[in-house]
Amino acid sequence: VAAQRPYFFSHIPAIADQCMEEFYQLTGRRYQRVMGYRVEDADYLIVGMGSMLVQAEAVADYLRDTRKLKVGVVNVVMWRPFPGDLIARMLQGRKGVAVLERTDQPLAEDLPIMRETRAALSKCLENGLAGRREEMPYPNYPVYAKPQSDLPPLFSGAYGLGSRDLQPEALIGAIENMLPDGKKKKFFYLSIDFIHAKAFTPKQEIHQQNILDLYPGVHNLAVRGSENPNLMPKGAITVRMHSVGGWGAITTGKNLAMTLFDLLGFEIKANPKYGSEKKGQPTTYYMSAAPEPIRMNCEYYYVDVVLSPDPNVFGHSNPLTGLKKGGVFIIQSELPTPAEVWNSFPDNARKFIVDNEIRVFFLDAFQIAREEASDTELQFRMQGNAFQGAFFAASPVMETAHLTEEKLFGAIRDQLQDKFGGKGARVVEDNLRVVRRGFDQIIEITEKSLQS
């Protein structure tokens, strides 16, 4: 067992570096054991692993542009052997380092990455203590000869617990916590409110007060950012769909995404929330298409278009949340007239629509699916395809991309053929007619009175 270290373990870092370099030469895709983004001149660093990092890079750019804060990102690509020598060089002399991890570890001294990072920096301090009097104990590690300036303040954050979404706001909060006027919490949770700033009901207010009485400092465990900016690329179109599990929202979203890709050549990123346990329950599907890579790995808060195959969406959520001024809202409704559909919306929704100049459309996708589906079992799933047609009729995509109906429906047919071709030509034609009718039969609500 002991022989593994000199004969195998100690060689892995060099072998990994060599393999990653060869991979780069073959593919043009660069990987390193640790990768940095704008770290050269950074005062503050976010350290982490996985999908959070690309979003952290977008936040770093935003804070540099808007607040002149020199923020960088350190991506721990290789976990074992832990690249402590490389990380220690990147962290030396920084004003603050936030190590963010998608986990919590009960009863541990630190979370996993933070634990390894502290161990690596302690080796640098030992090198500094050795000085010139003796050989450095860790020759591959830098020397922290001046701990007060070389050793950065470390802050540990946990995010994503309980599948909590990580918005840009949370990453901004992690940076703000390290600033000279920040709260400088050494350990914190992101995207979790132990205590809401404002209770929604008297019962909740009593409940929260009981928690504070028993755990007076619990609210200090949470960190929130001061803003949640829209970091989508310029020219992006972002869609949120509110549907019901088992109604084919995921299929509709995939077809819509692939059609946009075929027509525009855009980068596509989608984030569906679904699972077998969600059948019959509200589901949400997020999708964005942009002319450049999308660096947001979260539920899209700011959207251009909201599709709601769920006719009861106002009963359990607010589908207008985050809808931009001048955006588009399309909802399923069996009501016969625009006035009746408009009056079915809550008062606060109608006010938001008027104040923000939202264009509102409706269609009866269920009726379309009933009339066009050869197989009655497919009616629920096919109604979502009507919303694909409605999307192109109501959104600005066709106009901005200079698309003709012929080109649009040619691309849609190709997607349906790829998706359903194995089930026969009739299924493809049924779905195509549903999309076509969704495109043609969508109705806009133009009279938007706030008087019931």
Tens digits of pLDDT across the chain (452 residues)? 789 988 999 999 999 999 999 999 999 999 999 999 999 999 999 999 999 999 999 999 999 999 999 999 999 999 999 999 999 999 999 999 999 999 999 999 999 999 999 999 999 999 999 877 678 899 999 999 999 999 999 999 999 998 899 999 999 999 999 999 999 999 999 999 899 888 889 999 999 999 999 999 898 999 999 999 999 999 999 999 999 888 888 888 888 998 899 888 999 999 887 655 567 888 999 999 999 999 999 999 999 999 999 999 999 999 999 999 999 999 999 999 999 999 999 999 999 999 999 999 999 999 998 898 777 777 777 888 899 999 999 999 998 888 899 999 998 888 888 888 888 888 888 888 999 999 999 999 999 988 76
Query: Is 284 part of a structural domain of the chain?
Result: yes
According to DSSP, the β-strands at 282-290 and 237-244 are: antiparallel
Kindly report the number of other CB atoms within 10 A of residue 420's CB atom.
Answer: 20
**Amino acid present at 305:** V
Strands of 282-290's sheet in order across: 267-273, 282-290, 237-244, 303-308, 323-332, 359-363, 443-445
Instruction: Indicate whether 194 and 266 sit together in one domain.
Output: no
Q: How far is CA 311 from CA 123, 225, 261, 390, in A?
A: 61, 34, 28, 15
Instruction: Indicate whether 176 and 34 sit together in one domain.
Output: yes
Instruction: Indicate whether 57 and 191 sit together in one domain.
Output: yes
Angle at 159 between CA 154 and CA 161, to 5 degrees: 140
| Cα 158 from Cα 170, distance rounded (Å) | 11
Query: Is 143 part of a structural domain of the chain?
Result: yes
Strand blocks (E) in 107-205: 154-158, 187-190
Domain count, the chain: 2
Domain endpoint, select from 223, 248, 264: 223
Instruction: Indicate whether 343 and 288 sit together in one domain.
Output: yes
Query: Is 243 part of a structural domain of the chain?
Result: yes
Instruction: Indicate whether 365 and 262 sit together in one domain.
Output: yes
163 conformational bin, left if phi > 0, alpha if psi -120 to 50, beta if neither: left
According to DSSP, the β-strands at 303-308 and 323-332 are: parallel
Instruction: Indicate whether 302 and 196 sit together in one domain.
Output: no
Query: Is 69 part of a structural domain of the chain?
Result: yes
403 in helix, strand or coil?
coil
298 in helix, strand or coil?
coil
Question: What pLDDT does 276 receive?
Answer: 55
Domain at 389, CATH number: 3.40.920.10
Query: Is 41 part of a structural domain of the chain?
Result: yes
Burial 184-195 (b: 16+ CB within 10 A, else e): ebeebbbbbeeb
Two tokens at 31?
């990987």
Query: Is 402 part of a structural domain of the chain?
Result: yes
Question: What pLDDT does 416 receive?
Answer: 85
Question: What pLDDT does 255 receive?
Answer: 86
Question: What pLDDT does 205 receive?
Answer: 93
Instruction: Indicate whether 208 and 267 sit together in one domain.
Output: no
Instruction: Indicate whether 204 and 274 sit together in one domain.
Output: no
Q: Decide: residue 87, CB within 10 A, 0-12 exposed, 13-18 middle, 19+ buried.
A: buried
Question: What pLDDT does 293 receive?
Answer: 95
Question: What pLDDT does 275 receive?
Answer: 57
Question: What pLDDT does 163 receive?
Answer: 86
Instruction: Indicate whether 194 and 320 sit together in one domain.
Output: no
For 54-65, give the secondary structure using H, E and C.
HHHHHHHHHHHH
Q: How far is CA 363 from the centre of its chain?
A: 30
Query: Is 452 part of a structural domain of the chain?
Result: no
Q: Decide: residue 230, CB within 10 A, 0-12 exposed, 13-18 middle, 19+ buried.
A: middle
Instruction: Indicate whether 254 and 313 sit together in one domain.
Output: yes
Domain at 52, CATH number: 3.40.50.920
Task: Tell me phi and psi for residue 49, to 5 degrees.
Answer: -135, 155
Angle at 118 between CA 116 and CA 123, to 5 degrees: 100
Domain endpoint, select from 200, 223, 246: 223
Query: Is 34 part of a structural domain of the chain?
Result: yes
Question: What pLDDT does 201 receive?
Answer: 92
Distance in angstroms between the alpha carbons of the first and the last residue of the chain: 80
Contact 414, 262 (CB under 8 A): yes
| Cα 14 from Cα 170, distance rounded (Å) | 36
Domain endpoint, select from 191, 223, 255: 223
Instruction: Indicate whether 191 and 250 sit together in one domain.
Output: no
Kindly report the number of other CB atoms within 10 A of residue 78's CB atom.
Answer: 19
**Domain hosting residue 281, numbered range:** 237-445
Contact 105, 116 (CB under 8 A): no
154 in helix, strand or coil?
strand
**Amino acid present at 339:** A
Instruction: Indicate whether 208 and 89 sit together in one domain.
Output: yes
CA quadruple 311, 312, 318, 322: dihedral, nearest 10: -20
